[in-house]
């Protein structure tokens, strides 16, 4: 799925007034992460997976370290 398409889908779902509080909170947090990712990677069109999002927001985390052989 494309990044912009995913962001648009989340905006549409957030407009739904019957959305439960937990889902709304989750979508708002996810949307915020996606917008930060989009800002950091303007050339990217593909939606990032959860590890890519996490590492973009937490580059010094142990899970995100890259080792050269």
Helical axes 50-57 vs 21-40, angle rounded to 10°: 70
Residue 52 lies in a domain: yes
- 52 or 67, which is more confident? 52
Q: What is the pLDDT of residue 68?
A: 80
Domains contained in the chain, number: 1
Structure tokens at 11: 């905006």
Contact between 10 and 30 (Cβ < 8 Å): yes
Of 46, 5, 54, nearest in space to 29 by CA: 54
> Which range marks the domain in which residue 47 is found?
3-64
pTM score, two decimals? 0.86
Residue 69 lies in a domain: no
Q: What is the pLDDT of residues 22-60, one digit of tens each?
A: 999 999 999 999 999 999 999 999 999 999 999 999 999
Residue 30 lies in a domain: yes
């Amino acid at each position: 799925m494309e990044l912009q398409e995913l962001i648009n889908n989340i905006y549409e779902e957030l407009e739904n007034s019957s959305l439960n509080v937990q889902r709304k909170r989750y979508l708002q947090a996810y949307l915020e992460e996606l917008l930060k990712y989009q800002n950091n990677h303007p050339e990217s069109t593909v939606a990032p997976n959860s590890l890519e999002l996490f590492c973009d927001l937490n580059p010094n985390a142990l899970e995100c370290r890259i080792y050269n052989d």
